A and B are shown apart, each in its own frame.
Chain A
Amino acid sequence: MRRRLACLALLAAAVLPAAFAQAQDAAERTLTVYSGRGKSLVEPLLKRFEEQSGVRLEVRYAESPDLASLLLQEGAKSPADVFFSQDPGALGAVEKAGLLTTLPLPVLERVPPEFRSDTGRWVGTSGRERCIAYSSTRVSPDALPASVFDLTQPEWKGRVGWAPTNASFQLFITALRKTAGDAQTSAWLRGMKANGVRDYPSNRPVIQAIADGEIDLGLVNHYYLAAFKRDRGAAFPVENHFPRGDIGAVMSVAGAGVLASSDARADAERFVAFLLSDESQAWFASQTAEFPLVRGLKDTAVPAPEPGQGTGLVDLSELGDLRGTQALLRETGVLP
């Protein structure tokens, strides 16, 4: 018994230092980034910033709403310098609490006004469009719906999936409410439920389900498909359909803002500027298949969005909108 304890203690002594070791040079400049964007996605880009600027990044990866809640709780005590969010709602919540500081004008003016906050406190870094992913083996391109409103038709019964807890989906519903009104949105949601729409916890399982044959269409963000194709090969049997001109193709952004409580504001602004540099924007286009937002880029893998593509960014700085959307989703039984 005592020998076993001794062995365990030795094992712990061997493993613990390796795990807890964090080499730190006191003279190094560090920047703390709260990133709602995935580590597996953006770590290469962030490493590039470290190499170029000599600033060491301490990145906290988590879901954007969780990070926003953390920032709201931390307030002025927050160790974060930059909030790099996957979704504008989280940025809006943090902005509304007065935690973000204004960004320098040159940084803000890199992107069109609809892709940054009205008050200049956050800026979009790359664009993502809602789309309808479909099974390339079971749905022919001419059968595809021209609008999301067509999805309540009997021909699509039980064949459509969505992820109602996902922030981008809720942004799409907010956009729908703004353009079509609450009554029509509510009717569409009820119609979808009656038409047997299937729920998934996030975008990834929706596309996986299309590939598995569980559903034929899915309401997702456009860039997941590129990740699947890279992983499974170009023969992966799912494609994206953009109902252009319809609210189903609304554009959203990932974005970044600098915390007012930051003690490394210069470096933080440098980081945001780096995210908007030509090099980074081209990286987003080629590596994550998102839309670059900076005007005037040439020869990018994915072109910058045209003016009026989708229907522009819905202003989610107003948190009231998200609350209203959630209330509507709960009322219609889409959300618990």
Chain B
Amino acid sequence: MHPGWRLGLGAVAIGATLVVIAPLGAVLDAVRADPASALGALSRPQVWRLTADTIALGIAVTMSSLVLATALALAITRTRLPGGRAWLVPLSLPLAIPSFLIAEAHRRSLGVEGPIAAWLSLTLITYPLALLPLEATIRRASRDLEHAARCFGCSPFRAFRRATLPQITPTLEWTALLVLLYALSDYGAPAMLGLQVLTTAIESRRVAFDVPGATALSLILCALALVCIVGIGRCRSSRWWIMPGAPIEAHREPASSRAAAWAGAALCAATVALAFALPVAMIAAWWPRPNAGHEAGLASVLSPAFLETSLGALSPAWAATARSLAVALVAAALCCALAVPFVMLGHRGGEGERGRRTRRLSTLALVGYGLPGVVIGFAYVRIGLATPGLYQTLPLLLAGYTARCLAETLGPASAAARRMPPERLDAARGLGASFGGAWWRIGIPAVAPGLVAGAALAFLTVVKELPITMILRPTGFDTLAFELFDSLSEAMYARAAPMAAALVVVSTAVVAGLVATQRE
């Protein structure tokens, strides 16, 4: 790589990493300002119980989420599921709904609370993060070894474990990391279900202006996030099972039974019902009716008065929708663009000092996903106040979003880059293309599906994001997620319903678009 390119890309990558680790810096700075009380707060007895509970929840959610996502992916790719790949859209839709709403729907309809409820809710909230990558990887994985294993007398499960599982392990690893970091940093679901974890404890300390307590717990969470990233990074398999002649079209196994197909359909339907249909039903029940409180039958839903009330209710939602759409699009594009230098630097950089440096940068750049929004928000308040002209502006808000979402574009983009055979770029260079030209015409388009997937994930995260938005937004820039939260806080369900509906509709469009572009 030309040294000029290396310098330029390196500068951008380091810049992006600094944006992500700024909250870490702010936490360490707060500890430095008052080390005695911060470290003293670490020794309170509740702290270690909270940490243990958080870790236990994170690990449990990650395992169940991956098992569920793998099972769903297998059902879609390996069985003659009625509906086939179209199931990916409803199965990915829980990404469209804020976690506190999903948790509330579960609490109200299933009557569960506490650790088991939090585990169930978080599993259903996070499995979509792993589903699309796993489905794509399983679909692309070679079946030849598995067929051979079956011929030699292995049971289907053993054949899968020995032949296909090693091919999907790298995807399992980075999606596990994403799910784990999300489970550590989520506030809405544990708060709604009455489970006490680090994020809810940080919030309760902050609300009491207990700065040392909040700082101490934030420090623990930062450390946990780093440990997870480094730990999972170390077990990343360096073997890449790119089998020659890997099939592009998914074959359906001739012996795939109808029982398997119906079992798969049942699993998919149950998951969609629990993870998406329940929250949507709850939101639909909030929809304003012309005569509030009177039991309205189907006829009233079709009446002109209902239409009028609905249109009236939607009007405050338009401006908020425009703002949310705009800022989420820009944030997603930004995170996408920032992932490219990491991909380009890391390409072919498996060995040597340069490869290690890139890997370390990528590790640090993932940490923001494991931090709760309030920690990121208040860290950026300090940065914004220290920089003239930056405080309460959109660039500061975008920086906060980048810190949170860069991991969501880095993961899929790196995975897509690893799949691209390096010979293609060599061929392009050999035919006379410049370094930049080869990447622009060959490299980026090859990585594009991963970038698009990452951008869609980042978009969905930003559109429903609340704490960073509330703290950093320019005064008056009220997004959909904020309007929804505000209306719910005041028990104005009639005002909340259109906001929630707009959020779900926008996100559904993005999910549908994403599934459509993942066809390879």
Contacts and interface: CB of A to CB of B under 8 A. Distances in A.
Contacts of A40: 483, 486-487, 490, 492, 495
B207 interface: yes
B394 A323 contact: no
A108 to B, nearest CB: 25
Given A73-B378, A212-B108, A233-B293, A38 B490 contact: yes
Contacts of A15: 322, 325-326, 329
B448 interface: yes
Contact of A205 (B50, B104, B322): B104
A62 B471 contact: yes
Contact of A214 (B111, B327, B494): B111
Interface in B324-341: 325-327, 329-330, 333
Give the dominant DSSP class at B's interface: helix
Nearest to B209: A93
A311 B203 CA distance: 29
Given A1-B448, A73-B385, A74-B385, A231 B491 contact: yes
Q: Which of A12, A58, A60, A93 counts the most chain B CB atoms within 10 A?
A: A60
B171 interface: no
Size range of the chain A interface in the assembly:
35 or more
A40 B316 CA distance: 10
Contact of A236 (B205, B293, B322): B293
Interface string A32-73: 100000111100000000000000001111110110111011
A316 B490 CA distance: 24
A335 interface: yes
Contact of A39 (B104, B391, B478, B494): B478
B294 A233 contact: yes
Interface string A150-192: 0000000000000001010010000000000000000000000
A227 B392 contact: no
A12 B329 contact: yes
Interface string A71-99: 01110010100000000000001000000
B491 A200 contact: no
A231 B494 contact: yes
Contacts of B491: 204, 207, 224, 227-228, 231
A170 B382 CA distance: 28
A19 B445 contact: no
A70 B493 CA distance: 29
Nearest to B196: A336
B209 A208 contact: no
Contact of B489 (A59, A198, A204, A233): A204
A41 B495 CA distance: 11
Contacts of A19: 322-323, 325-327
Contacts of B113: 198-199
Q: Which residue, of A19, A60, A77, has the highest number of chain B Cβ atoms within 10 A? A: A19
A59 to B, nearest CB: 7
A74 B392 CA distance: 11
Contacts of A62: 470-471
Nearest to B444: A1
Contacts of A208: 108
Q: Which are the 3 A-B pairs with shortest beta-carbon distances?
A: A233-B293, A19-B326, A336-B196
Given A32-B475, A165-B200, A323-B208, 11 more contacts: A1-B444, A15-B326, A60-B475, A61-B478, A66-B470, A72-B209, A74-B381, A79-B391, A198-B194, A201-B100, A201-B192
Interface of A: 1, 8, 11-12, 15-16, 18-20, 22, 32, 38-41, 58-63, 65-66, 68-70, 72-74, 77, 79, 93, 165, 167, 170, 198-202, 204-205, 207-209, 212, 214, 224, 227-228, 230-236, 319, 322-323, 326, 330, 335-336
26 contacts: A8-B329, A15-B329, A18-B322, A19-B323, A19-B325, A41-B490, A58-B475, A61-B478, A62-B470, A63-B470, A66-B471, A73-B385, A79-B391, A209-B108, A212-B108, A227-B491, A230-B292, A231-B491, A231-B492, A231-B493, A322-B209, A326-B204, A336-B46, A336-B200, A336-B201, A336-B204
Interface of B: 44, 46, 50, 100, 104, 108, 111, 113, 191-192, 194, 196-197, 200-201, 203-210, 291-294, 322-323, 325-327, 329-330, 333, 374, 378, 381-382, 385, 391-392, 394, 444-445, 448, 470-471, 475-476, 478, 482-483, 486-495
